């Protein structure tokens, strides 16, 4: 399992199933039926009855023995021809809904969700005046076992891309990498000669607006604010190919933005950070990527018109194919030539990074089925063909080997806007995707793990890919992630600039607590990719007034110098599995020695933590 040559790496998440079979709660047998409810005798229902709750939803009281994720399903009866939405609330918080389908008279439907319930009394509420309730079914969510390829989907991936991908695979299920998006940028540009002025390149005649510190990756407003809030820099830096194509792409500031992306990505990589790129794609000379009222189907759209408003493009990418089924490409069409021309522009930028040995997490055609971007307006079948064109053009035609491919599943407005509406029909296929991402902006700001989304992706797309939170507002709290065993590979907080303010969705104390946690990876936790022999790096975070704290290993003896206080010292193998606990508890200030002679031959990671400060040491036992 620790050899990259193996075809897959298995990652086990979630615990043992609590119930061999679901526990069924018949609606007609529940205590305290509301006064508006009536019990209806009818064949075809569990127990031969269902409950019409009238104007009051039904609330089941459930005793749970173990805090965990549970599969919850409610069999309902729709008595009228309408668009009724069935909702499930656990402990008065909505955890799932679905538009009823089929939508005809007297139809039966099962509404399902995944939700965390605490040990003890819980309530499950379902139904409204238009919904009859047959029964409630509850069982602990089953085990998930991921079998993820040890190599990325790009044939002959660069060594750097392979190292980053392997790091993500080895940490999946154990740690979550932190990420932050940059929108607004500070950079200096020579408009007379149409070229970016790099740090250290300004002369008096340039009259540069920004200092070298301000144009650095760490000096960008989004990243600087991230550090101010959390005390650490993110492991992953987010960039956008927003101006790499489209009507303004060759103009000074827009061109400078794209070139500065590359400069910062290289700088980030040199600091051992990981760049990720998305693409708000404006095709050809168009200046809009958003759609409104179904994009090209909008009544205001006519042949040859690219944009009807600042928030709508009429671009119809199906015209790159011979017909609307999108089965056969029309390589002679103008639309196809515009599409591949833009892909070639972006490829040329990524080629610069490839020549500099910089790998990229690459997320094109994001939020697939949402419909608010032009690539999400046509069918799932057409989208899949478009995604494969992007992949084939970049990898097979243009020879890019430094990309780790991220596909972004999304809710489908045809079915709803919560996790039940995630539409896997838009998935391009296992040969085209390394990471499945989802974008979640937690409306309650309760910092939950979003485990229902995580498990829905695993259920619908499969367990052969990494799963990431590719955009978020409020961060999911690491304790919630761990409790629900929904370890996102990484999360990516969207920008603070351009009126985003998404860093403010998380309180500063939670920022600091999460970024100090060993289960969250900051940039200082990433390995030196140039000399990497393992997926771990010594972690030494300075904490104010923490006192002396050193950790060293010599042969089979470990020496630790600690301040007074709670000290935790443990040994792990190179895949992060716990081996032995050396100390947990109060130690007076001083230096302590521990014998490691009982360890078997091999390499180990030793982690010592005193308060919020921690140290890591690598050890080879011969």
Please say which residue of 476, 510, 530 terminates a domain.
Answer: 530
Looking up residue 329, the CATH number of its domain turns out to be: 3.20.20.80
- For the domain that residue 89 is a member of, what is the CATH number? 2.60.120.260
Mean pLDDT, range 469-496, rounded to an integer: 96
DSSP 224-265: HHHHHHHSS-BSEEEEE-TTSSSTTTTSHHHHHHHHHHHHHH
Q: Which residues, 6 or more positions from 328, have their beta carbon under 8 angstroms from its beta carbon?
A: 321, 322
| Residue 404 shares a structural domain with residue 459 | yes
The answer to whether residues 609 and 519 belong to one domain is no
pLDDT at 25 over 80: yes
Identify the residue with better confidence: 454 or 547: 454
| Domain identity same for 446 and 542 | no
Q: Which residue has the higher pLDDT, 596 or 467?
A: 467
- C-alpha 479/C-alpha 517 separation (Å) is 10
pTM: 0.80
The count of structural domains within the chain is: 3
* Residue 602: inside a domain: yes
User: Does residue 1 belong to any structural domain of this protein?
Assistant: no
**Residue 554, domain extent:** 538-621
* 420 pLDDT above the threshold of 80: yes
Residues 382, 496, single domain; the answer is: yes
Per-residue confidence at 284, pLDDT binned at 50, 70, 90?
very high
Q: Is residue 18 part of a domain?
A: no
CA separation for the pair 483, 15 (Å, rounded): 10
Considering only residues 618 and 465, tell me which one the structure prediction assigns the higher pLDDT: 465
Q: Are residues 574 and 474 in the same domain?
A: no
How far CA 565 is from CA of 390, 541, 552, 561, 589, in Å, comes to 56, 17, 19, 12, 8
Digit-coded pLDDT (tens) for 53-107 = 887 888 999 999 998 899 998 888 876 555 566 788 999 888 877 665 545 566 7
Q: What is the mean pLDDT of residues 537-565?
A: 60
Based on the fold, state whether residues 170 and 53 are members of the same structural domain. Answer: no
Predicted confidence at residue 570, as pLDDT, reads 77
Cβ atoms of 68 and 82 closer than 8 Å: no
| Residues 615 and 473 both lie in one domain | no
The pLDDT value given to residue 95 = 85
Tell me whether residue 313 is in a domain: yes
Domain boundary among 514, 530, 546: 530
pLDDT classification of 478: cutoffs 50, 70, 90: very high
Answer with the residue of higher pLDDT: 544 or 605. 605
- Report yes or no on 217 lying in a domain: yes
Q: Are residues 211 and 105 in the same domain?
A: no
Give the whole-angstrom CA distance, residue 572 versus residue 562: 20
Residues 183 and 314 in one domain: yes
Q: Which pLDDT value is given to residue 561?
A: 83
CA distance 166 to 434: 11
Half-sphere exposure of 614 (CA within 13 A, CB side): 20
422 and 565 co-located in one domain: no
pLDDT band of 611, cuts 50, 70, 90: low
pLDDT for 229 equals 98
| Inside any domain, residue 180 | yes
In a domain, 35, yes or no: yes
From the list 239, 244, 235, the residue with the least C-alpha distance to 220 is: 239
Residue 541 has pLDDT above 60, yes or no: no
Q: What is the pLDDT of residues 188-233, one digit of tens each?
A: 999 999 999 999 999 988 889 999 999 999 999 999 999 999 999 9
Q: What sign for the dihedral angle of Cα 420, 426, 408, 575? A: positive
**Domain termination site, one of 142, 169, 199:** 142
For residues 337 and 457, state if they share a domain: yes
Whole-angstrom distance, CA of residue 213 vs CA of residue 219: 6
DSSP, res 430: G
Contact in structure between 160 and 474 (CB atoms under 8 Å): no
Rounded to whole angstroms, the Cα distance separating 234 from 223 reads: 8
Do 440 and 568 sit in the same domain of this protein? no
What CATH number is associated with residue 582?
2.60.40.3080
As a whole number of angstroms, the distance between CA 591 and CA 548 comes to 10
For residue 166, being part of any structural domain is answered with yes
Query: CB-side exposure of 121: number of CA atoms within 13 Å?
Result: 4
Query: Which tops the pLDDT comparison, 56 or 597?
Result: 56
| Mean of per-residue pLDDT scores for the chain | 86
Task: Read off the pLDDT of each residue in 595-613 and give the average, rounded to a whole number.
Answer: 71
* Torsion of the alpha carbons at 474, 494, 468 and 616, rounded to the nearest 10: -80
**pLDDT tens per residue, range 302-336:** 766 666 666 789 999 999 999 999 999 999 999 99
């Amino acid at each position: 399992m620790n050899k990259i040559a193996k075809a897959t790496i298995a990652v086990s998440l979630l615990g043992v199933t609590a119930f061999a079979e679901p526990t069924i709660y018949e609606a007609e047998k529940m205590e305290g039926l509301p006064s508006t409810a009536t019990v209806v005798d009818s064949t075809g229902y569990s127990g031969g009855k269902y409950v019409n709750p009238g104007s009051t939803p039904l609330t089941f009281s459930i005793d749970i023995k173990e805090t965990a994720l549970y599969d919850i399903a409610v069999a309902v009866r729709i008595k009228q021809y309408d668009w009724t939405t069935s909702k499930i609330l656990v402990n008065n918080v909505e955890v799932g809904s679905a538009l009823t389908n089929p939508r005809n008279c007297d139809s039966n439907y099962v509404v399902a969700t995944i939700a965390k319930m605490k040990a003890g009394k819980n309530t499950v509420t379902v139904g409204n005046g238009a919904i009859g309730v047959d029964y409630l079914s509850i069982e602990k969510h089953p085990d998930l076992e991921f079998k993820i390829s040890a190599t990325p989907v790009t044939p002959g991936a660069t060594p750097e891309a392979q190292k980053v991908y392997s790091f993500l695979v080895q940490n999946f299920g154990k740690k979550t990498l932190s990420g932050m998006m940059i929108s607004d940028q500070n950079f200096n540009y020579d408009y007379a000669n149409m070229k970016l002025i790099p740090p250290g390149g300004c002369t008096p005649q340039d009259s540069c607006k920004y200092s070298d510190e301000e144009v650095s990756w760490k000096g960008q407003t989004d990243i600087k604010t991230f550090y101010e809030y959390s005390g650490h820099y993110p492991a992953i830096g987010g960039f956008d190919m927003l101006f790499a194509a489209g009507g303004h792409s060759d103009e000074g500031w827009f061109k400078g933005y794209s070139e500065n992306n590359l400069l910062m990505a290289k700088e980030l990589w040199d600091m051992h950070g990981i760049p990720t790129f998305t693409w708000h794609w404006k095709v050809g000379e168009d200046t809009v990527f958003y759609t409104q009222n179904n994009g090209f189907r909008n009544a205001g759209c006519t042949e040859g018109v690219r944009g009807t408003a600042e928030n709508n493009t009429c671009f119809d990418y199906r015209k790159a194919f011979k017909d609307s089924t999108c089965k056969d490409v029309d390589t002679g069409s103008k639309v196809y030539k515009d599409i591949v021309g833009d892909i070639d522009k972006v490829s040329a930028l990524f080629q610069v990074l490839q020549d500099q040995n910089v790998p990229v997490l690459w997320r094109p055609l994001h939020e697939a089925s949402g419909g608010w971007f032009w690539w999400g307006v046509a069918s799932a079948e057409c989208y899949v063909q478009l995604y494969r064109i992007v992949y084939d053009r970049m990898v097979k035609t243009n020879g890019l080997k430094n990309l780790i491919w991220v596909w972004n599943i999304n809710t489908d407005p045809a079915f709803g806007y919560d996790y039940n509406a995630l539409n896997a029909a838009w998935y391009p296929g296992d040969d085209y995707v390394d990471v499945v991402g989802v974008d979640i902006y937690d409306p309650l700001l309760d910092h939950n793990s979003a485990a229902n989304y995580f498990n829905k992706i695993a259920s619908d797309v499969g367990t052969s890919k990494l799963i990431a939170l590719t955009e978020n507002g409020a961060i999911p709290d690491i304790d919630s992630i761990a409790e629900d065993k929904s370890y996102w590979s990484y999360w990516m907080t969207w920008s603070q600039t351009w009126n985003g303010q998404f860093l403010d969705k998380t309180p500063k104390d939670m920022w600091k607590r999460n970024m100090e946690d060993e289960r969250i990876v900051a940039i200082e936790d990433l390995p030196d990719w140039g000399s990497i022999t393992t997926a771990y790096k010594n972690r030494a975070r300075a904490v104010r007034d923490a006192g002396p704290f050193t950790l060293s290993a010599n042969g089979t003896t470990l020496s630790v110098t600690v301040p007074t206080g709670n000290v935790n010292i443990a040994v792990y193998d190179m895949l992060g599995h716990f081996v032995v606990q050396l100390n947990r508890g109060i130690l007076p200030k001083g230096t302590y020695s521990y014998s490691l002679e009982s360890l078997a031959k091999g390499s180990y990671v030793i982690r010592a933590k005193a308060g919020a400060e921690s140290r890591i040491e690598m050890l080879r036992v011969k």
